[in-house]
Amino acid sequence: MKLMTVSSAARKRRPEKRVAPDIVAAVDLGSNSFHMIVARTVSGQLHVLDRLQEMVRLAAGLDVDNRLSKSAQRRALACLERFGQRLRGMAPGSVRVVGTNTLRRARQAEKFLTRAEAALGHPIEVISGREEARLIYQGVSSELADEGPRLVLDIGGGSTELILGEGREAKSMESLHMGCVSVSEAYFPDGLVTTKALRRAVTAARLEFQPVAAQFRGGWRVAHGSSGTIRAIGAVVREAGWSSGLITRAALDKLRDALVAGADVSALRLPGLSAERAPVFPGGVAILMAAFQELEISEIRIADNALREGLLYDLIGRIQHHDVREQSITALSGRYHVDRAQAERVARSAQEFFGQLAEDWRLGEDDAAALSWAARLHEIGLAIAHNQYHKHGAYLARFSDLAGFSRTEQALLALLIRAHRRKFPLQDFAALPRGPGKRARRLAVLLRLAVLLHRSRTDAALPELKLRVHKREMRLAFPHGWLEEHPLTREDLEREDRYLRAARMRLKIAAA
């Protein structure tokens, strides 16, 4: 049943849908290297047009308090300026940029991220470790034929991802807090690779693997390794003649002996190893040796694709309306037994209001999606307790593993759920940057109105409502006499006006 009618003029004010781009790009802001890939989409497949990679060593710029050094920021911004030149002119929504472990750990990085976005000309998403793992698997599996259950291992600069999957579906994912940069700095700080130091590094890595080893030790037929570290190890063992196309236990043993014989990483002359990679190479080897032992790997195949390719395929899915985030919202709703009929009522009304104010408030498709998701989940906290359920729901949305969502997107989702009833938490919105904070406040107001108007939790149709805005005042017009017949709704709206004053807005009720 239709819950609200809207005038044709209001429909015209909906933001125009983006045209699906022919050329897309992905940027991976890794802890060791920054990568960019640009590709043309042809019938859902990618044809690579350009690749860029620079060794930035962002993780090496974190101090003991996890603050990025000025020199690391300068290196990163200089690289992003160059990437930005290549991305200039690409349409909004055609580029995805993600930050991984180092940007997850970095404290007070908001100013740096703002400057980084300006350099690139596109927004940056900081993603969780498990989301990174999901995207890595999507990239690796895109180039593989069906071979049954598989293990994917990715050793990055600051984290190591493990994924069990089959076909295109990742089934189990973990992200461990160790990478080639962090292990190299901890166990080879002076660049010396001794037998004792290497043994200690491998032992430390094994301890990191042990809590998840049982989960990833069996149940797969083939193991694949992605990332620059594993490709570098593969290049060395291949050119040294120790293995061909694979990394085996025997090849790793020979590589271990060669590393110790070299003693100083600055003097390493291993075939296939670049001078840029050498300083963090021993840490990567230690992690891979530990993985072979703890996960009982006998050989690992080297994948060409990784996170950035996974980003592109995920972006194509969004463009073609196969957005994994929709699946995550549906799954979370089911897990907490949300009243879906009520959630859909609220979502439809919130979107109708959105359509009437989108142009005036300069809201776009991403804002519409965030509003819809928040409406569908606004009652998940009831699974914990009715008292303060909006706060319980915000916690669940903020800290659940939601495939496809960045940390920023989950934080916005949680904030909208938190703000959908009772006092307006203006201080929480004030913590956001000015532009996103203003849009978030406006989305919260639309959600609050939709929730309020469906307090009866029935399919009774609402009348035609007209919502207008002038500066900080909203005017909600009802058909003549309707509010007199619904005094509870009038009282709720008057109370809402008092709440919204905290958001520096006013709500006026009028007859159409």
Q: How far does Cα 355 stand from its chain's mean position?
A: 27
8 Å CB contact between 201 and 157:
no
pLDDT, position 20:
66
What pLDDT, in 10s, does the model give residues 488-510?
A: 999 999 999 999 987 788 999 98
8 Å CB contact between 102 and 31:
yes
Token pair of 413 as six digits: 């989702």
pLDDT, position 391:
96
8 Å CB contact between 441 and 429:
yes
Mean pLDDT of 242-250: 93
| Range with the poorest average pLDDT among 148-152, 163-167, 277-281 | 277-281
pLDDT, position 13:
47
What pLDDT, in 10s, does the model give residues 401-411?
A: 999 999 999 99
Mean pLDDT of 120-138: 95
Other residues' Cβ atoms within 10 Å of the Cβ of residue 362: 13
8 Å CB contact between 243 and 237:
yes
Please classify residue 369 by burial: count the beta carbons closer than 10 Å to its beta carbon, then call 0-12 exposed, 13-18 middle and 19+ buried. middle
What is the average pLDDT value for the chain, to the nearest integer? Answer: 91
Give all domains of the chain, ordered by start, each with its CATH number: 23-126+310-317 (3.30.420.40), 144-303 (3.30.420.150), 333-511 (1.10.3210.10)
How far is 183 from 280, CA to CA, in rounded Å? 8
What pLDDT, in 10s, does the model give residues 72-99?
A: 999 999 999 999 999 998 988 899 999 9
- Which amino acid is it at 384? I
- Listed in sequence order, the residues at least 6 apart from 473 whose beta carbon sits closer than 8 Å to its beta carbon are 505, 506, 507, 508
pTM: 0.87
Higher model confidence: residue 10 or residue 499? 499
